[in-house]
Amino acid sequence: MTLKVGILGYRFMGKAHANALARLPMFFPDAPDIERDALVGRDKQALAEAADRFGFARTATDWRNVVEDVDVFYNLGPNHLHAEPSIAALEAGTHVFCEKPLAATTAAAKSMATAASDSDALAGCAFNYRFVPAIKYAKRLIEAGELGEIHHFRGTYLQDWLADPEAPWSWRNDAELAGSGALGDLGAHTVDLAHFLVGEVESVSGQLKTFVGERPVDGSDETRPVTVDDAYTAHARFENGAMGTFEASRFATGHKNDHSIEIHGSDGSLRFSLERLNELEVFREGNRGYETMLVTDESDPYIDAWWPPGHVIGWEHTFVHENYEFLSAVANDGEFAPSFADGFAVQRVLDAIEQSDARGERVTL
């Protein structure tokens, strides 16, 4: 069986997923066969060039001309474009893989989760950090009880690409297009890892901050207002009794793409940083400190598909792993997580953090 794939979006995430699709048959020979059929975008010339580079057979400027003609639809567009095309595809019986956050608003995310529940098609949300081998290894340790009862989760996602007030305005600075700023773009990843590794969040107390109120429009003398947050912090209570802190910033000078988590349990702890994604630091009761583990052995998650033990992998490989899992689930009528329901669960936490900031009080989900 060959799966015909259509993709909406051809820039950052489009390139990441197209690269993953191209790598699959070389490194995961049991992955389903795919046909890179349609690439969707607005700029015809840029779209044609991208389709040629990415190996897609055709292009389209309207997703409506694609969603019913492919087996799998990848929605990699800006956040405000996630809901309508994804719901239309699911109603047509087309499997959908949508980038995070699931939508620009909680209401839209709920509609997407409902459409996924009502459809026989599979719907996956692209939280690629679940597919880092070290994170998978951490999940094994927690499920095996090696950390004991979980008490603390700490998650930060720090970048500095907007620290310069002259950095140009983009759709990520607009609430109508993005929904939120660092909260949704970065915080969504952290909340999903917290759900994946620790459990569901029960309540939050949050704060959002915008440091630069307007930014120059690239190629003109105009400026546009920034209507989303540049940074956020939140304190969380989990349903299982654990407590947590979340933080993300686009103004954390010196940090390029530093997604870090710490989990502390009664019998042990672990630490992970995306900037050292092949490593997992583990503390076990009785040790005097943390042990740094290189998660690159053949027995570690996904590593047997790549290079000899000790040869590290990179950020782009996480997309290969998640595409392998999703497309295999589609081909084999299986299940996939994170699902649209998982994406909606994350969206509810993000919304509660925004509500807490606006109301000045803790919000229970």
Are 104 and 244 members of one domain?
no
Query: What pLDDT, on the 0 to 100 scale, is given for residue 1?
Result: 81
Distance CA 60, CA 66 (A): 7
How far from chain centre, in Å, is Cα 31?
A: 22
Q: State which residues form the domain around 314.
A: 130-364
Are the beta carbons of 123 and 100 closer than 8 angstroms?
no
Domain count for the chain:
2
Mean pLDDT by 10 residues, the chain (365 residues): 96 96 97 98 95 97 97 97 98 98 97 98 98 98 98 98 96 95 98 98 98 95 96 98 98 97 98 98 93 96 96 97 98 98 98 98 98
For the stretch 229-265, pLDDT in tens is 999 999 999 999 999 999 999 999 999 999 999 999 9
Domain boundary (87, 106, 129) is at: 129
Are 283 and 141 members of one domain?
yes
Dig out the tokens for 208 from the structure: 């959002």
Pairing of strands 291-294, 363-364: unpaired
* φ/ψ of residue 355, rounded to 5: -60, -40
Distance CA 178, CA 364 (A): 24
Are 65 and 156 members of one domain?
no
Query: What pLDDT, on the 0 to 100 scale, is given for residue 104?
Result: 95
Are 261 and 327 members of one domain?
yes
Domain boundary (129, 159, 190) is at: 129
DSSP 8-state class, residue 168 = P
How many CA atoms are closer than 13 Å to the CA of 281, on its beta-carbon side? 12
How far from chain centre, in Å, is Cα 326?
A: 14
Are 274 and 177 members of one domain?
yes
Residues β-bridged to residue 283: 269
Q: At what angle do helices 188-197 and 340-359 cross, to 10 degrees?
A: 120
Are 78 and 224 members of one domain?
no
Residues β-bridged to residue 207: 233
Query: What pLDDT, on the 0 to 100 scale, is given for residue 286?
Result: 86
Are 169 and 233 members of one domain?
yes
Dig out the tokens for 236 from the structure: 């969380």
Domain boundary (71, 105, 129) is at: 129
Dig out the tokens for 76 from the structure: 């990699």
Are 178 and 75 members of one domain?
no
216 preceded by cis ω (within 30°)?
A: no
Distance CA 28, CA 159 (A): 32
Distance CA 45, CA 43 (A): 6
